[in-house]
Amino acid sequence: MAILRRWLVAILATSLVLARPQARCDSYQTCHELAYAEVANMTLTELVGQMTQVDISTILNSDRTLNVTKVEAMAKLHIGSYLNSPFAGGPVGSKAGWTATEWRTLLTSIQSIHAKHSKHPILYGLDSVHGANYVTHAVMFPQQINAAASFNRDLVTEMGHVTGRDTEAAGIPWIFGPILDVQTSKMWARAYETFGEDPYVVTELGRAIVHGLQDNNTVAACFKHFIGYAATPTGHDRDPVTLSDYDVLNYYMPPFQAAIDAGALTGMMNYVSVNGKPMGVNHKLLVKLLRHDLAFKGMLVTDWAVINDLHSFHHVAATDQDAVRQALTHTSIDMSMVASDTLFINHTLALLETKQLHVGRLRESVQRITALKLRLHLYDAPVPGQANVASVGDRASQDLAYKLATESLVLLKNANSTLPIANWTTSIFLTGPSIASIGHLCGGWSLAWQGVSGPNTNALFPHGQTVQDALRVTCPTCAIEAMPGVDVDGTYSKDVLEDAVKKAARADYTIVVLGEGPYAEKPGDINDLELPRGQQEYVRALAATGTKVVLVLVQGRPRLLRGLPDVVHAVVNAMLPCELGGRTIADVLLGKVVPSGKLPFTYPKTVTDSAVPYYHRQNLGCVVHGTSGECDHEWPFGAGLSYTSFEYSNFSLSTKSSLNDLHFHVTLRNNGEVDAKEIVLLFVRQPIRRGDVPEAKRLVHFVKVDVPKYTTRNVLLQVPVDALCTFGHRIGHGLKRKIVPGQYDFSLNQGEGGAISLTLHATKEAVYAFSMAPVSEGTTDEVLSKRDMAEHAPLDVARASDVAAAI
């Protein structure tokens, strides 16, 4: 009753928009103890209602105003949660979204109506996946794929902080993010939502953004989409996947493990079937792996209508009611995102009445739901975040989004130092379908689910500029001619092409900004990864004039270029930098910013290799020139140039290394005339690994370093020996790591200037030596012997990281 009294008092304050922070339970144990007592007194209708989440559209009128009668009906059912933006489907009239204040007005009304019929506040969730992208005037950050290209943990943490703050300012404390899927097929429509193809990068940046999202302790992150969702063999969204336990544990699980260790309060499971078992009934993955091996104690929500899909899509349930029975019997799902109706409640109550479900199963889930609401202080402040409203869209947030965008652009080709454009009185022909569209720069999940583009949509991005406008502002003395020339689908007219060719012929530089329009999820499916032929033809026609062609790629996935890099002078992969992207692209092209991003994925050259990550098994061969060999690609993982040159030297293993941690040092020199940042990547490769085919190589550490011109930096790379371990093969038996005795070769980046290798020798008894030698020489420059290491702590096989087999 104490909780109820607090809730009623708080809602009176909410009705006056006076939500204020008060004491709350901050520990898992305390919150769950309070929740346990509350849940024990709930009726069956309350229990089932709390497990139900419906879309906001179910309680709105067609003009997006609140339908009080519908809200009252939901409140009487004790609905526990709502989700989504009323404008996810696109603008309604002249309205494309709500400000934080407008959101707060809506949520205050909803909470007030629920308070009349329910003891419990509703929990509102929103897909804030690159900033508060459904809150008008909030700064929209680059998409996650750009954040990955920055390789900057600190910026990603700050992005998470602003995202959480701005979403909470709208009265919404639950964020459906981060996306922790490890990108597999480059054709997948959700590739841009990820942190790329490398498990270590996804793990590190996933941990960083969770810390940022939840750093004020009043916002809940929701890791998604557990697990294996991105492993589609076809590249089509929601297609079934086949994964071994080894692949799940070593490639797809680590990011989720890191998020859980970072304190992520909630998780979301996905749509697909794994090895023929839909996730909605997958006991092995949702109970054995998630709850047992990963020890996740937080609240788990389904994705959109996942339980209904068991009947209508996967065909493993005879009816929708049978689907509910199977899902609640076999998994640890706590909340059903039923989306558009409340039949989940009817089905669950019927199953309880016929004793096909036990009430204890529901109490277990509702205890987690209630504990979350307590942890977020919703009983005291059901519409949180009032103090943050004034910060939404502020200059500091814009500066942060700009900085992240600048560090994410990847320079992939720069023949004869074509870039930067140093002469600001030069003539430029700017063309391509994305030169005048901020919506193209942002992609999907930007104001609307499928994004926005087309005439008159640029005004919806108050902090942004198009590439065309930004280039004119940044270089007012440049003679710039501009025209789109070709549509994003590749269509163009003969007359327009002839005009474009004339403009290119008289320009010193031709900048072509092309790629993809916005899309999200299933509507973004494609059958061909190739850049539309018309776009290719357009670029080739311009290049034939002899002008210096700079190709700027605005795209959510790496479209096949079919030789285009060979006919242009420079290539910049901008991906989806969003509303600060126009300014970013202009500043990089004109040299105001030195590019420092690197590819967080392998850029494929052929569609058959588009689902092959760089860390593929060593016995995987691709067909190259008619024979099996190393997979061909346009650019490798980690590719990225600068406007300066870096020199690596003195790669060594420190005597401070122990059997727990390896300390590498490398000297990095900036030999150029500009200050710049360099991303140092450290890879490991096992020439032989007994028992399992080893990967071609694996990333074990990265660091981004500021290096002023003509300056040397000594870089430390600290690698836990755990990073050399692999997880065992059995899900549900605890997370057991092992390290295979043998040789481990370490190398930096892509071998620019000559790769350097470090070899670790191990036996079953112990690591007995580390030796360093340049690959090209094969000589030992330094050996750290077993005697030298005796004073350092041995590997503790019983510690929390669960290294099961001693080295």
Nearest to 192 by CA among 588, 529, 601, 467: 601
Residues 455 and 595 occupy one common structural domain: yes
Task: With a cut of 60, say whether residue 484 has pLDDT above it.
Answer: yes
Q: For residue range 343-380, what is the model confidence (pLDDT) as tens digits?
A: 999 999 999 999 999 999 999 999 999 999 999 999 99
Catalytic: which of 303, 309, 334, 380?
Answer: 303
Residues 246 and 383 occupy one common structural domain: yes
Write the CATH number for 534. Answer: 3.40.50.1700
Q: For residue range 599-612, what is the model confidence (pLDDT) as tens digits?
A: 999 999 998 888 99
Lowest average pLDDT, out of 303-317, 556-570, 646-660, goes to 646-660
Residues 471 and 330 occupy one common structural domain: no
Q: Are 144 and 129 in contact (CB under 8 A)?
A: yes
Share of the chain above pLDDT 70, in %: 88
Q: Are 171 and 107 in contact (CB under 8 A)?
A: yes
Q: For residue range 508-540, what is the model confidence (pLDDT) as tens digits?
A: 999 999 999 999 999 999 999 999 999 999 999
Task: With a cut of 50, say whether residue 776 has pLDDT above it.
Answer: no
Residues 30 and 147 occupy one common structural domain: yes
Task: With a cut of 80, say whether residue 124 has pLDDT above it.
Answer: yes
Final residue belonging to a domain, choices 635, 659, 678: 635
Place of tokens 């379908």: 433
Task: With a cut of 90, say whether residue 68 has pLDDT above it.
Answer: yes
Residues 493 and 566 occupy one common structural domain: yes
Tell me the pTM: 0.92
Residues 385 and 419 occupy one common structural domain: no
Residue 399 counted as domain residue? no
Residue 796 counted as domain residue? no
pLDDT at 740: 80
∠ CA(358), CA(361), CA(363), 5° rounding?
A: 110
More confident residue, 780 or 90: 90
Q: For residue range 445-457, what is the model confidence (pLDDT) as tens digits?
A: 999 999 999 888 9
Tally Cβ neighbours within 10 Å of residue 183: 29
Place of tokens 């007030």: 112
Task: With a cut of 70, say whether residue 796 has pLDDT above it.
Answer: no
List, as own/partner pairs, every contact residues 457-465 make where C-beta atoms lie below 8 angstroms and the sequence separation is at least 24, other chains included: 460/91, 460/96, 460/97, 461/140, 461/579, 462/137, 462/393, 463/139, 463/140, 463/393, 463/398, 463/401, 463/579, 463/580, 464/438, 464/578, 464/579, 464/580, 464/581, 464/582, 464/583, 465/438, 465/582, 465/583
Q: What H or E segment, with its residue span, contains residue 128?
A: none
More confident residue, 695 or 767: 695
Q: What is the Cα–Cα distance from 55 to 93, expressed in whole angstroms?
A: 21
Q: Are 202 and 195 in contact (CB under 8 A)?
A: yes
Q: Are 497 and 484 in contact (CB under 8 A)?
A: no
Final residue belonging to a domain, choices 635, 654, 689: 635
Residue 536 counted as domain residue? yes
Residue 641 counted as domain residue? no
Q: What is the Cα–Cα distance from 551 to 549, expressed in whole angstroms?
A: 6
Residues 133 and 265 occupy one common structural domain: yes
- Is 745 designated active site? no
Residues 780 and 718 occupy one common structural domain: yes
Q: What is the Cα–Cα distance from 231 to 338, expressed in whole angstroms?
A: 25
Mean local confidence (pLDDT), 546-553: 98
Q: What is the Cα–Cα distance from 188 to 526, expressed in whole angstroms?
A: 8
Cα atoms in the 13 Å half-sphere on the side-chain side of 235:
20
pLDDT at 783: 33
Q: Which two tokens stand for residue 351?
A: 């199953």
Residue 799 counted as domain residue? no
Residue 703 counted as domain residue? yes
Q: Which two tokens stand for residue 435?
A: 């030169």
Cα atoms in the 13 Å half-sphere on the side-chain side of 251:
23
Residue 804 counted as domain residue? no
Nearest to 373 by CA among 299, 297, 263: 299
Q: What are φ and ψ of residue 252, in 5° steps?
A: -95, -25
Number of residues in the chain: 807
Domain count, the chain: 3
Q: What is the dihedral of CA 55, 61, 66, 67, to 10 degrees?
A: -100
pLDDT at 85: 98
Mean local confidence (pLDDT), 227-253: 96
Q: What is the Cα–Cα distance from 771 to 803, expressed in whole angstroms?
A: 24
pLDDT at 690: 84
Q: Domain containing 519: what range?
A: 409-635
Residues 116 and 208 occupy one common structural domain: yes
Bridging pattern class, strands 220-226 and 174-175: parallel
For the ranges 62-66, 503-507, 605-609, 658-662, the maximum mean pLDDT occurs at 503-507
Residues 107 and 225 occupy one common structural domain: yes
Work out whether the CA dihedral 735, 741, 742, 743 comes out positive or negative. Answer: positive
Q: For residue range 419-442, what is the model confidence (pLDDT) as tens digits?
A: 999 888 899 999 999 999 999 999
Q: In whole angstroms, what separates CA 144 from the centre of its chain?
A: 4
Write the CATH number for 90. Answer: 3.20.20.300
pLDDT at 761: 64
Write the CATH number for 755. Answer: 2.60.40.10
Nearest to 562 by CA among 528, 511, 606: 606
Residues 302 and 372 occupy one common structural domain: yes
> Which three-class secondary structure string do you get for 398-464?
HHHHHHHHHCCCEEEEEHHHCCCCCCCCCEEEEECCCCCCHHHHHCCCECECCCCCCCCCHHHCCCC
pLDDT at 22: 34
Q: For residue range 315-344, what is the model confidence (pLDDT) as tens digits?
A: 999 999 999 999 999 999 999 999 889 999
Residue 137 counted as domain residue? yes
Task: With a cut of 50, say whether residue 17 has pLDDT above it.
Answer: no
Q: What is the Cα–Cα distance from 173 to 376, expressed in whole angstroms?
A: 7
pLDDT at 623: 62
The amino acid occupying position 449 is W
pLDDT at 659: 66
Residues 83 and 105 occupy one common structural domain: yes
Share of the chain above pLDDT 90, in %: 80
Average pLDDT, the chain: 90
* Helix, strand and coil in the chain, % to nearest 5: 35, 20, 45
